[in-house]
């Protein structure tokens, strides 16, 4: 559907918008009057959410169902934006998955899926939408990383490595893009109460850290967005855990994380 001569519509593109943190972010941005482009695999869930947000907030909501494991999916999302004359003003790379497992037990398919969604899709979407933001001298990229990306986590070795990737990518871009009008924020939540933990085979009862609600992550996202922070943490405890690493030998940091996350103590 080509849109004649109308101006492009500025949207917030949220991956992983069908549930959990991404869904909470979609509700928050719609509540602030932003138009949205929602991405995830669950076509019907996205359509229902879009309809709810349109009715409740009077915003325009587009859905682009995609499986981000597929190498061409990011390009298809970009093509969708061109076709529908959408300008991505805020990109939220939120889609992600994990598997609590000894590394040697991860199937190749799982390994590729985790890397494809957590790393490649986020990097490709950033690469695809960044030039438009730089050209407009306005835009924000929000990467939902994790406390797991601050250090290696035994039982989540690959997941923590993908989140480290996202944090360092965000940090480098945050500085690289200073003066261009484009902001880049890495958000580092601890454990959040979504379906993610069960899907990743965590044993909730063994986790020795608070499991908090998505709304704390939403608040951290908005704080990072408004204040142009390089990194944000949803809670003071998250911040304290990271800060205390400065005074702790690295091997001890990883062992304490192993104890607190209990990712090897599975369901």
Ligand X SMILES: NC(=O)c1ccc[n+]([C@@H]2O[C@H](COP(=O)([O-])OP(=O)(O)OC[C@H]3O[C@@H](n4cnc5c(N)ncnc54)[C@H](OP(=O)(O)O)[C@@H]3O)[C@@H](O)[C@H]2O)c1
Binding site for ligand X (CB under 6 A): 16-22, 40-42, 66-69, 94-97, 117, 144, 146, 189, 191-192, 194-197, 199
Burial (CB < 10 A; 0-12, 13-18, 19+), residue 5, is exposed
- The tokens of 111 are what? 């390994």
Q: Which residue among 159, 225, 233, 239 is the active-site one?
A: 159
For ligand X, the closer of residues 21 and 130 by Cβ is 21
Residue 157, CB-side half-sphere exposure with 13 Å CA sphere: 9
For ligand X, the closer of residues 142 and 197 by Cβ is 197
For ligand X, the closer of residues 102 and 198 by Cβ is 198
The H or E element spanning position 165 is: helix 157-176
For ligand X, the closer of residues 18 and 170 by Cβ is 18
14-33 burial: b if 16+ Cβ within 10 Å, else e: bbbbbbbbbbbbbbbbbeee
User: Least distance in Å: CB of 65 to ligand X?
Assistant: 8
User: Least distance in Å: CB of 7 to ligand X?
Assistant: 29
User: Least distance in Å: CB of 134 to ligand X?
Assistant: 25
User: Least distance in Å: CB of 177 to ligand X?
Assistant: 22
CB 25 within 8 Å of CB 36: no
Give, as one character, the DSSP assignment of residue 194: S
SS3 227: helix
159 is catalytic: yes
For residue 32, CA distances in Å to 25, 222, 232 come to 11, 11, 20
CB 251 within 8 Å of CB 234: no
User: Least distance in Å: CB of 6 to ligand X?
Assistant: 29
Q: How would you classify the pairing of strands 86-93 and 61-63? A: unpaired
Residues acting as catalytic residues: 159
């Amino acid at each position: 559907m080509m849109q004649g001569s109308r101006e492009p519509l500025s949207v917030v593109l949220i991956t992983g918008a069908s549930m959990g943190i991404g869904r909470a972010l979609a509700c928050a941005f719609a509540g602030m009057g932003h138009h949205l482009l929602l991405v995830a695999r669950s076509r019907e869930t996205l359509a229902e959410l879009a309809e709810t947000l349109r009715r409740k907030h009077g915003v325009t909501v587009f859905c682009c169902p995609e499986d981000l494991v597929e190498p061409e999916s990011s390009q298809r999302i970009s093509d969708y934006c061109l076709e529908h004359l959408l300008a991505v003003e805020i990109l939220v790379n939120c889609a992600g998955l994990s598997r609590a497992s000894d590394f040697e037990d991860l199937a190749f398919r799982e390994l590729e899926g985790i890397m494809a969604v957590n790393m490649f899709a986020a990097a490709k979407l950033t690469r695809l939408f960044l030039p438009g933001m730089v050209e407009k001298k306005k835009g924000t990229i929000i990467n939902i990383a994790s406390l797991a990306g601050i250090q290696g986590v035994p039982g989540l070795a690959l997941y923590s490595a993908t989140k480290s990737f996202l944090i360092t990518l965000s940090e480098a871009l945050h500085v690289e893009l200073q003066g261009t009008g484009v902001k880049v924020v890495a958000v580092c939540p601890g454990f959040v109460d979504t379906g993610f933990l069960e899907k990743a085979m965590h044993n909730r009862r063994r986790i020795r850290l608070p499991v908090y609600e998505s709304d704390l992550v939403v608040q951290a996202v908005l704080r990072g967005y408004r204040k142009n922070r390089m990194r944000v943490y949803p809670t003071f405890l998250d911040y304290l855990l990271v800060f205390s690493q400065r005074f702790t030998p690295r091997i001890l940091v990883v062992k304490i994380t192993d104890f607190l996350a209990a990712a090897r103590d599975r369901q």
